[in-house]
Structures are given as C-alpha cells and as structure tokens.
Amino acid sequence: MTIASHVFLLIFLPLAAFAYYGLFRRPRLKMFFLLFASYAFYALADWKFLPLLLALSFFTFLLARRGWIGAGVALNLGALALFKYLNFGIEGYNAAMTALGLSAAVAKALELGLPLGISFYVFKHIGYLLDVQRGRIPATSDFWAFATFSAYFPQISAGPISGFQETAEQYASLPDRPRHDQIYSGLLYLSMGLTKKVLIADSLGTLLASSTNSVDGFAGAIPAWYIVLAYTMQLYFDFSGYTDMVLGVSMIFGVTLPPNFNSPYLATNPAEFWERWHMSLSNWFNYYLFSPMSRSLLRKWGAQKRDQAQYVANLATMSLVGLWHGAGLSYIFWGLYHGLLLNFNAWWKRRNINIPTWIGRPIFLFSILLGWAFFMSPDSEYLIHLFKQLFGLGGLGDTALMLELAQNFATPALVVALLLTATGLSEASSVFNAGQYRVWYAVLWGVLAALSLFLLGGQIQFLYVQF
C-alpha cells in the first residue's frame, strides 16, 4: 500500500481520520492512535521490515537516554549500509577480483531487499542523536512520542525529514476536533499532489519507461534532450506531488510537516537550487555535515584558506548526497557534479562577476539538466550514449522519431509541467492560501482528484521511495 493507492485514499485514510476525531479527544490518546495507524500502514506496505523499524526506534531512544550517541549513530548507519550498500560493495569487490584474474574469490550478492523508508527514518534518528549530543535538545523520556515521530505514516515512505523537537511539541497539542481550515487545506494539498503524480508524472513515466531501459531507446540530440527534460519534469512532479500529498494528509491530522520544495527551477544559481530542492534533505546535510565540516577545516587550515575549506566541504557533502540516493556510480557522479557546480558558483560570487539574468539563467538550467542526465542513467554504457546524443554526436535525430515524440500523449503533460514550473504554480503552497475558502478551488481540484483516482493504476510507487 502507498499513499497513492485506492486502498489508502478510499479506505485507510477515511477510517483513520474518522477514528482519530470520532473516538479520541485527549492529545495523548490521539498520539497513540497515530502510532498504531503508522505501524498498521507500514505492515500493509512492507510488513517483513516492521521489526527493523521497531528495533531501530527502540535502541535509538535507549542509546540517546544512556548518552551513547556514537553507538546510536553507528547502529543506524550500520543498518542503512547493510540493506542499501552491501551489495554495491560486493559488486565492486567482485569487479576487482575479476580484473585481477581471481574469479574464484567472488562473493555472492545478498537478496535482502530495501526496507521502506529506511533512508529517511535513519536520518531522522541520526539527526535526533546529534541534536542530543550538541545539547540542542534533551534526550526524551517519552518513548511513545519518539516511536510516533520515527514511524509517522504520512512521511515514513520518503520524508520529508523532520526534527524530533518540532514534531513532539505538536503531539502534545493535537486538535481535539477537526479544524475546518486544516481539513480544507489538507484536502486541497492532497488533491493537487495526486493530480501532479497521476496526470503529469505518470504520463511522462510511461513514455520514459522504454527510453531509459536501454541505449537503443533514442538517438539524436533533439530526442535526447526531450528525454532528459521529460525525466526532469517527471521526477519533480512525482516527488513534489508526493510531498504535497504527505503535507495534506498530515494537515488532516493536525500535524505540520516541513516543506520540501519551493519552485526549485525558478532558482538562478546552484546554491539557490539546493535551497529550494528537497529542502529537508538539503537542510539536514547542511546542518549536520557541511557546516561542522567547514568549521573544522577552518580551524585546521586557518581563515586564509576559507575558500578551500568551502570547496572541500561542498565536494564531500554533495558526494554523500549522491550516495544517499543510491548505491551506484551514477548517483556519486551526480553528487560530485553538483559539488563542482556549487564550488564554481562560490568562486564566481567571490569575484563579483555579474552577468545578465537572461544569460546566466539559461546556463544554470542547462547545467541542472546535465546533472539529471547523470542521475537518470542506470549504467555507464547508457550514460556515455546519452551524453554523445546530447552533444550532437548522433546527429539531430531521426525525423520519424521526433514526429512520434511530438505526437505522443505525454507531450501535452510535458508542456503543462513546463508552464506550471515556469510560472511558479507547480507548488501547492504557491497555489493555495491556507484558510481562505474558495469554492472554485474546491470544485476544480475535486474534479481533478476524481479524474486522477479514476486513472489511478494498481500499486503505484513514487520514484523517491526507491531511495
């Protein structure tokens, strides 16, 4: 079960909301119900890894109480490494052994599977542990609040990554009865997110499925740029659609979660892009890794080398951002590439070089699109082929193929996505003004949500759930 499924939208969510407001009044009881609903959601989505979530929640809570912060961080990172990166290491080891002629020494990959949401709830745990270590917050004595924070069902699949203190404070004052402004805003966010996912992202995904599975999926510069642009919009509308749905569902239960997007393609430079794209992850890496690393390097090297400290911290941080997304060289290259973009941007700004926006903005967007070419490539063969096509080494493209793409049903979805992105209307927060009741909003998004529900397939996954 996912939040974009008939079971969740038509059965789980209505029943949970009815029980939440109809059966319980005290905030404490409501919090216990949210915990129960979260474990039920996880069991329905990925039951075999529910014990792992329970164990990591309990031991993170316990180790924080004992002051064993290092052990808690190691435990969470160890679990993440085991399930997400072990096979990547085994593949690298096997490649090295084969290259050395030691084929008999190869190891067998383990079929462990990737637990739902592990990349996200592990980062919530580590953020909590580091906050306790730094004295930002005390170690909580309320295990049930921490368990709810860890497993909270709207955000368990793919974030956004939130802090414990901000969330726990809301658990203490959960609304005793539904607030009309929260329900209204929540349903609008939910409707817009579902519409973005089904009508735009999934339409583009159908086209991209054949083009990104093999190097024979396209040839020529124009089809290649079309594919990269379509993937860029698919990923954005898929993930921001997921985020809108999550924020909307959480609003219905009276819990505010941090935003994840703020029209990233309206940014004018790489640094601003990362202030607008996947904001909760960017903030996490900035607060817990980049800033401490920069300060440490400055203390070690001195203020006269502050530029070098920033450059090293940028590259290290963005490499880990890439690795966080997946155990693959394409993700690491993508992270390194963005680290270089951030370094170039910092170098440029320090020299007070000004170029007109009409020149700088297209260059910036071009650089972001090239980054997604790294990200979308499943292997090095595909990546090399893609870059050859992007830079015209395969010609402009076959006329018949370009005509086929132009007439494809996904092209209108791409045009709509580009228009919404360019006008800043791609984010629910930009479209809706919470608390203002507009009948035409409700009618419009109700119709679009109904259409999306009708077109909704069986078990639809969001792209970022795989990370």
Between CA 437 and CA 374 the distance in angstroms is 43
Give the orientation angle of helix 164-171 with respect to helix 118-133, to 10 degrees: 100
Other Cβ atoms within 10 Å of 436 Cβ, number: 10
Between the CA of residue 84 and those of 81, 122, 289, 301, 336, what are the distances in Å? 5, 12, 20, 35, 20
Between CA 40 and CA 34 the distance in angstroms is 10
Between CA 142 and CA 149 the distance in angstroms is 11
Between CA 278 and CA 269 the distance in angstroms is 16
Q: Read out DSSP for 106-158?
A: --PPP-----TTHHHHHHHHHHHHHHHHTTSSPPPS-HHHHHHHHH-TTTTTT
Other Cβ atoms within 10 Å of 387 Cβ, number: 15
- For residues 25 and 141, the answer to whether their CB atoms sit within 8 Å is no
Give catalytic status of residue 6 as yes or no. Answer: no
Alpha-carbon 377 to chain mean position: 18
Q: Which of 125, 278, 325, 385 is catalytic?
A: 325
- For residues 245 and 190, the answer to whether their CB atoms sit within 8 Å is yes
Region for residue 214 given its phi and psi (left: phi exceeds 0; alpha: psi -120 to 50; beta: otherwise)? beta
Task: Tell me the residue ranges of DSSP E strands in 298-407.
Answer: none
Give the orientation angle of helix 50-66 with respect to helix 143-151, to 10 degrees: 140
Other Cβ atoms within 10 Å of 148 Cβ, number: 25
State both tokens at 62.
């316990």
Between CA 461 and CA 339 the distance in angstroms is 29
Contacts 24+ apart (CB under 8 A), 423-428: 424/263, 424/266, 426/196, 426/236, 426/237, 426/240, 426/263, 427/240, 427/244, 427/261, 427/262, 427/263, 428/188, 428/189, 428/192, 428/193, 428/244, 428/247, 428/248
Eight-class DSSP state of 214: S
What amino acid positions are annotated as catalytic residues? 325
